[in-house]
Structure 1
Amino acid sequence: MFVDSLVARLAEHPGQRMRFLARDGSTLVKTYAEIHDDARLLMAELRDSGLGAGDLVGVLGPNCYEWILADLALLALGCVPVAIPAENRHDAAEIGALVDRYRLAALLVTRALPGEAGLPAATASLSDRPVKLDPVRHADAPELPPGVRTIAFSSGTAGTQKGLLLTDDGIANTVELSARAWRVTPDDDIAIVMPYSNFQQRYLTYLAIWTGCAATVVPPEIMFQAFKTVEPTIILGPPSFFELLHHRVMAADPAERMERGRGWLSMYGSRVRLMYTGSAPVPPAMVTLFQELGAPLYELYGSTEIGWIAMNVPGLARIGTAGRPVDGITVELGDDGEVVVRAERPQVVGYVYEGVETQDAVFLPDGRIATGDLGVIEDGFLRLTGRKKNVIITRSGVKINPAELEADLERALPGVRAMVALPDGAALLACVVWIEDIEDTARAAEIEAYIKRMNAGREPSHRIATTLVRPAEELTVESGLLTRNFKIDRGAVARAVWGSGDR
């Protein structure tokens, strides 16, 4: 089995290392030999506590060494780690509810919690070693399909939270495909920024261990300061990871742009050789600018259900597309333009806990998987055009893809942090635009004037009736307007503006 062997794989590259940076700038460095020994010790403690193959064990907490150590030890034991979403921050009195909700045999928290004296018997803090707990056996624990080795949560292809059943073979395929496509070597250092409760960050750690390269875990709040020092070679992230540089360059006068040239890229470190972005609409102008500066930024496309679907690679890339389908993937387009995928080795076999009611609409009877994304295929390259669930249907039955409206605006209004088009609650279209300087009335007037000119050339059903300009600083995960994957939550925007997410 693939994931079971990761701890043993550490011993093959004993001198390699992982680094874990904290928000205060402190750094913990662990060699693969040390991680191997620590994982073996934790395995023994968990085994002595009564945990074994097939047990569902939750892991809860922010990114840290203890999180990935617990994950590796559980996998090697044959347990099934359940990655509790990072936003679930509970005090000790609430932990028991998680054990019951997910029918866990045990729950490991990575940091001491307030009121720790009240921790349930099935729960242990990894800050208190050796680990001691009394597993719970639930008569109604979910029965997992063969090959399932871990459970993660995501928004899923249908847009609501799902519990995803990830298989050993699917995880192995994603790691192997990435290692080949990116030509990962022991000289590489993979940056890990998003929460470990997102499966992509765990898989990147597995990729580092499998290929014998380094990995560096960096909190998103300090990533740009950290990148200059830690010098990663491979960076994956949503467009927001790269938009800051794009905005800075575009705000500079032309002479400064030319003078600084590749120097603009120093915020990502001097060793970066591969940058990938996706998971949200990617402005083509941003990718164009990066490549003009000599940065290796490319688009790719995947989902937790499937793994990688399409990917641009050096020498075979087209800006504005997600790339060509990867090996083992066949992409088809439905009558409505939905991207439907047939995967030889899909990463997920179904849902559990949450989202089960949507499973049949995603995992189709003939083995295909419906992504919920809209797209077109151009000369073998897949270009995504929006989300099926975001299509707006007017009272007269006209279908409007808001992503296309947003793309038009982004091309015409550089420097805007973000924008969304959505119904305004009165069967009309509205556009919410976020800019850096909300006090710049001239900028706001420019945006409104452009939208007015754009409306003149559109059908009445596609005209934007209301334009709202808002401060960019409100776009945070804490405000609820961004998901934990740094995507704009359209429902949250609608509730913030009109008091309802159902408009």
Structure 2
Amino acid sequence: MPRSLINDIVSEAPVHDGRISFARLDGTETLTLAELYERAGRVASGLRRMGVAPGDRIGILAANGLEWVLLDLAALRLKAETAGFEPGKFEPDAELLARYDIKLLFSDRPSDAPGVVPVADVRLLSEKQDDDEPLLPVHYGPEDTTTVKFTSGSTGTPKGLAATAGSIDSSLHAVQEIFEHGPGDDLFVFLPLSLLQQRYWIYSALRHGHDVTISTYEAAFATLGRVRPTVVMGVPAFYETAKRHIESRARRAAKTSSPEDAVREAARRLFGDRIRYLWTGSAPARAAMLTFFDEAGLPIYEGYGLNETCIVTKNHPGASRAGSVGKVLTGKQVLIDEDGVISVRSDHPVNRRYAYAAPGDSERVFGEDGTVRTGDLGHLDEDGFLFIRGRADDVIVLDNGKKVIVRPIEEQMKSDPAIAECVLFCPAQTDLVAVVSPSALPADTEAIAARLARTNSSVERDEQIRRVVVAQEPFSIDNGLLTSQFKPKRKQILAAYEREINDTKEGIHAA
């Protein structure tokens, strides 16, 4: 395996000119990565004065910002673990500290609980102290844990997944091999830093000399044009929203230029004029959305991975195939069983089991060697591109024995601009019922009905949708019907619309 990136960034100050910026609605704060390294070292010294030692765990429950990054890098410098908690899903209380063995919890939310520290205090820790003793050198072996990430906690106690240094190194080396990020690049990150993969791009910047800009989902669209990044890391739902923004702007400009030129200009105005490519994954992306950005002059590449595997496959320049999620990356192996269920074997597994999980949870997902049963259905084509067909758990078996894979049908419904999400259910094992999240309110029921008719005309009789429930409001993270990565939560959607789903009337129905 190549040199450890994690060991490089904890042991050596950057010697390049890379910068990190924090883009907010009220402006942008920028510092060099060399300065970031120095300030993280001072924060590490401050944490040591507060009693944090190697092997201890600090928690971070806060919005993206400089403090988050300094804490994460400081913990690496101490060989302490971080635990990133998604804001809005956890409370900064004594129960959280006890449940997850947290030494100190840094939060931007008020709390009187012992061990909870205002995250704003991190800036004080980063100030120079004359009596600071040098940090002791640390070294990470491939199996050493750097961080623990947690599920969003929508049901039950959120389980954790400890990530090893070897898995981070392996993923970043594989990504660098195909995208060659370097000086001149600026990677734009706005998803929560509690998602470990978002922190990868900070580590990459420290090692490879490119810039990185940290923002938030709320500020992303307002700051993109000002920041002018070369790469944007986003989930499909973000790009669907961006597509609507671009189309709206293009319609207003179409009077003075061709439709194609209007779209390209609107895309440049939204994303800036330096985009090299757009990165997406974490949830299925619609083919129409991917085509839209490619034709708008913003190449977009879809990939595939899970928290338990990190990135597994990726389309990239020179190796991209429509409909696929890319080729398997170095260090990963995709295995597909006789039922089409995908498993992933890694040279350096993220881990071999969950932490803080119910009995049997780990055994259902992890093999003894760390091989992960993903629960996704797919196949590899003759050239090694992976195609995902849906979730094994989302295969509906009708009372006549017919197996219906729901994802292709849901994707057909979602291809209409009036529909943001579509989730299929089969309450009596006879008829398919769709719950539709409208793209806007009031819902365009005529467009939804037209899309239903087109979808039903293209599938077999057993695969036809008998009725559609139009959600009262679009699915969102706030109403608990989308995950933090904007995937529909099927169980919660079923619970929210169970009465309407079990109604026997055919056609389109408002909830």
TM-score bucket (shorter structure): 0.7 to 0.9
Quick check: 1:4–1:78 contact (8 Å CA) kept in 2?
Answer: no
Deviation at 1:102, TM superposition (A): 0.7
Deviation at 1:247, TM superposition (A): 3.7
Show the counterpart of 1:56: 57
Deviation at 1:166, TM superposition (A): 0.6
1 CA distance for matches of 2:499 and 2:44? 49
1:395 correspondence with 2:399: yes
1:200 correspondence with 2:197: yes
Quick check: 1:240–1:486 contact (8 Å CA) kept in 2?
Answer: yes
1 CA distance for matches of 2:488 and 2:32? 37
Show the counterpart of 2:259: 257
1:287 correspondence with 2:283: no
SS at match of 2:163: strand
Question: Which amino acid in the other structure matches residue 317 of structure 1?
Answer: S
Q: 1:457 to 1:3 in 2, by over 3 A?
A: closer
Question: Which amino acid in the other structure matches residue 497 of structure 2?
Answer: V
Choose the corresponding residue for 1:96, options 94, 97, 105: 94
Question: Which amino acid in the other structure matches residue 104 of structure 2?
Answer: L
SS at match of 1:352: coil
Aligned positions of 1:40-439 closer than 5 A: 40-90=41-91, 95-104=93-102, 106-111=103-108, 113-115=109-111, 118-120=112-114, 122-128=115-121, 146-154=143-151, 161-247=158-244, 257-266=259-268, 267-354=270-357, 357-365=360-368, 367-379=370-382, 380-411=384-415, 413-424=416-427, 428-439=431-442
Q: 1:425 to 1:17 in 2, by over 3 A?
A: farther
Quick check: 1:165–1:349 contact (8 Å CA) kept in 2?
Answer: no
Question: Which amino acid in the other structure matches residue 97 of structure 2?
Answer: V
Deviation at 1:463, TM superposition (A): 2.2
Deviation at 1:189, TM superposition (A): 0.8
Instruction: Give TM-score scaled by structure 1 length.
Output: 0.86
1:27 correspondence with 2:28: yes
SS at match of 2:192: coil
Quick check: 2:58–2:104 contact (8 Å CA) kept in 1?
Answer: yes
42-51 vs 387-396, greater mean Cα deviation: 387-396
Show the counterpart of 2:485: 485
1 CA distance for matches of 2:158 and 2:348? 23
Q: 1:383 to 1:455 in 2, by over 3 A?
A: same
Mark the runs of 5 or more structure 2 residues left unpaired by the alignment.
126-140, 504-511
Q: 1:146 to 1:345 in 2, by over 3 A?
A: closer
Question: Which amino acid in the other structure matches residue 292 of structure 1?
Answer: E
Quick check: 1:494–1:500 contact (8 Å CA) kept in 2?
Answer: no
Question: Which amino acid in the other structure matches residue 113 of structure 2?
Answer: L
Deviation at 1:11, TM superposition (A): 3.3
Quick check: 1:5–1:76 contact (8 Å CA) kept in 2?
Answer: no
Aligned residues: 477
Deviation at 1:327, TM superposition (A): 1.4
Q: 1:458 to 1:243 in 2, by over 3 A?
A: closer
Q: 1:99 to 1:202 in 2, by over 3 A?
A: same
Q: 1:437 to 1:308 in 2, by over 3 A?
A: closer
1 CA distance for matches of 2:326 and 2:82? 32
Quick check: 1:394–1:427 contact (8 Å CA) kept in 2?
Answer: yes
SS at match of 2:487: coil
1 CA distance for matches of 2:284 and 2:377? 12
Deviation at 1:448, TM superposition (A): 1.8
Quick check: 1:300–1:323 contact (8 Å CA) kept in 2?
Answer: yes
2 CA distance for matches of 1:161 and 1:102? 10
Q: 1:4 to 1:71 in 2, by over 3 A?
A: farther
SS at match of 1:474: coil
Quick check: 2:419–2:448 contact (8 Å CA) kept in 1?
Answer: no
Deviation at 1:426, TM superposition (A): 7.4
2 CA distance for matches of 1:8 and 1:402? 49
1 CA distance for matches of 2:452 and 2:502? 25
Instruction: Give TM-score scaled by structure 2 length.
Output: 0.85
Quick check: 1:392–1:399 contact (8 Å CA) kept in 2?
Answer: yes
Q: 1:205 to 1:500 in 2, by over 3 A?
A: farther
1 CA distance for matches of 2:60 and 2:417? 42
Quick check: 1:161–1:355 contact (8 Å CA) kept in 2?
Answer: no
Q: Deviations over 1:69-101 (max 9, x none)?
A: 0111011101111112333453xxx52111111
2 CA distance for matches of 1:334 and 1:163? 27
Show the counterpart of 2:509: none
Quick check: 1:330–1:342 contact (8 Å CA) kept in 2?
Answer: yes
Percent of aligned pairs with the same amino acid: 30
